[in-house]
């Protein structure tokens, strides 16, 4: 896992002279747009609002945030929610590093189909911090499968009574069917919507129950499955890396290399060379 800690001095150096905020990275997914932002020490953001609902996961740096319901301190490892149009203000006494996801309307509607979604502004339940950390890790180590986990995590954050924290039980047949599809259909382009149609379950239920029963997200499982198949082909040594990438469901060699390194810590060619020694 990538080292996430940054000192206040390091955060300050990322901003550049005279800058109060800096967008470090951005990722657009069907669930919404994710932005990693550094805030300067002493920055005060006056009352303003956003046109779309969003989550803010605080990675580093304690700051204060106020909204129409009150205000409070936002500590590292916490997630707060802001509805669309919610007036709010923020103060960053020592600077901060945060991940913000601006949610799409389709994601909000999808979550609402399953239950009462988060609507009030403010910090979410304690379990949300773990979901925020997973979302940030997915953002930092993105590949072409990341959109699956981003959508699944956003849906779980929107539903306060997340079943992701319940005790394990025997996986029902439809969950096993999803596992089998991802294991057997090595070149398929999966989406939550397609899986939902296939097994007749809501995407929210799929994302919750898969993680509950397999201890990993759908994207993690799919990534590991495809890399496992790639390792088999690499050990054979009779295919080019480009052909292996396509055979394992990756769109090109670059995406294949990113996913392979993420799972194994090595690029494919190094793995292949090591196995030939």
pLDDT in tens, 155-202: 999 987 544 434 446 789 999 999 999 988 888 889 999 999 999 999
Q: Which domains does the chain have, with CATH numbers?
A: 8-127 (2.60.120.10), 166-277 (1.10.10.60)
> Rounded mean pLDDT of 225-232?
91
Give me the pLDDT at residue 223, please. Answer: 92
Residue 5 pLDDT > 60: no
The residue that leads in pLDDT, 141 or 13, is: 141
C-alpha 134/C-alpha 138 separation (Å) is 6
- For residue 29, give the nearest of 154, 216, 115 by alpha carbon: 154
Joined tokens for residue 15: 């901003």
Joined tokens for residue 241: 């890396």
What backbone torsions phi and psi does residue 204 show, to the nearest 5 degrees?
A: -65, -45
- For residue 226, give the nearest of 268, 170, 270 by alpha carbon: 268
Beta strand 32-39 with 63-67: parallel, antiparallel or unpaired?
unpaired
Over the stretch 11-65, which tens digit does the pLDDT of each residue have? 566 676 557 899 999 999 999 999 999 998 888 888 899 999 999 999 999 998 9
Secondary element (H or E) of residue 4:
none
Residue 98 pLDDT > 80: yes
| Candidate from 42-51, 127-136, 150-159, 266-275 with smallest mean pLDDT | 266-275
């Amino acid at each position: 896992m990538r080292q996430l800690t940054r000192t206040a001095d390091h955060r300050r150096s990322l901003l550049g002279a005279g800058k109060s905020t800096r967008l470090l990275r951005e990722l657009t997914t069907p669930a919404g747009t994710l932005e990693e932002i550094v805030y300067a020490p002493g920055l005060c953001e006056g009352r303003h609002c956003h046109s779309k609902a969003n989550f803010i996961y605080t990675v580093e740096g304690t700051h204060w945030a106020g909204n129409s319901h009150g205000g409070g301190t936002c500590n590292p490892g916490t997630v707060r929610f802001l509805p669309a149009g919610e007036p709010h203000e923020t103060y960053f006494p020592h600077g901060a590093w945060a991940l913000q996801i601006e949610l799409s309307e389709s994601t909000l509607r999808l979550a609402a189909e399953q239950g009462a979604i988060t609507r009030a502004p403010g910090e979410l339940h304690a379990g949300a911090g773990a979901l925020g950390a997973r979302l940030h890790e997915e953002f930092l180590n993105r590949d072409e499968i990341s959109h699956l986990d981003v959508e699944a995590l956003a849906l779980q954050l929107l539903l306060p009574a997340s079943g992701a924290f319940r005790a394990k039980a025997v996986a029902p047949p439809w969950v096993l069917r999803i596992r089998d599809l991802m294991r057997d259909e090595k070149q398929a382009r999966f989406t939550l919507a397609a899986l939902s149609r296939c097994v007749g379950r809501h995407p929210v239920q799929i994302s919750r129950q898969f993680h509950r029963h397999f201890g990993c997200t759908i994207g993690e499982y799919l990534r590991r499955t495809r890399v496992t198949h790639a390792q088999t082909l690499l050990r054979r040594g009779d295919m080019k890396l480009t052909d292996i990438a396509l055979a394992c469901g990756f769109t090109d060699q670059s995406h294949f290399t990113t996913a392979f390194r993420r799972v194994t810590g090595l690029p494919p060619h190094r793995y292949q060379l090591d196995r030939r020694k």
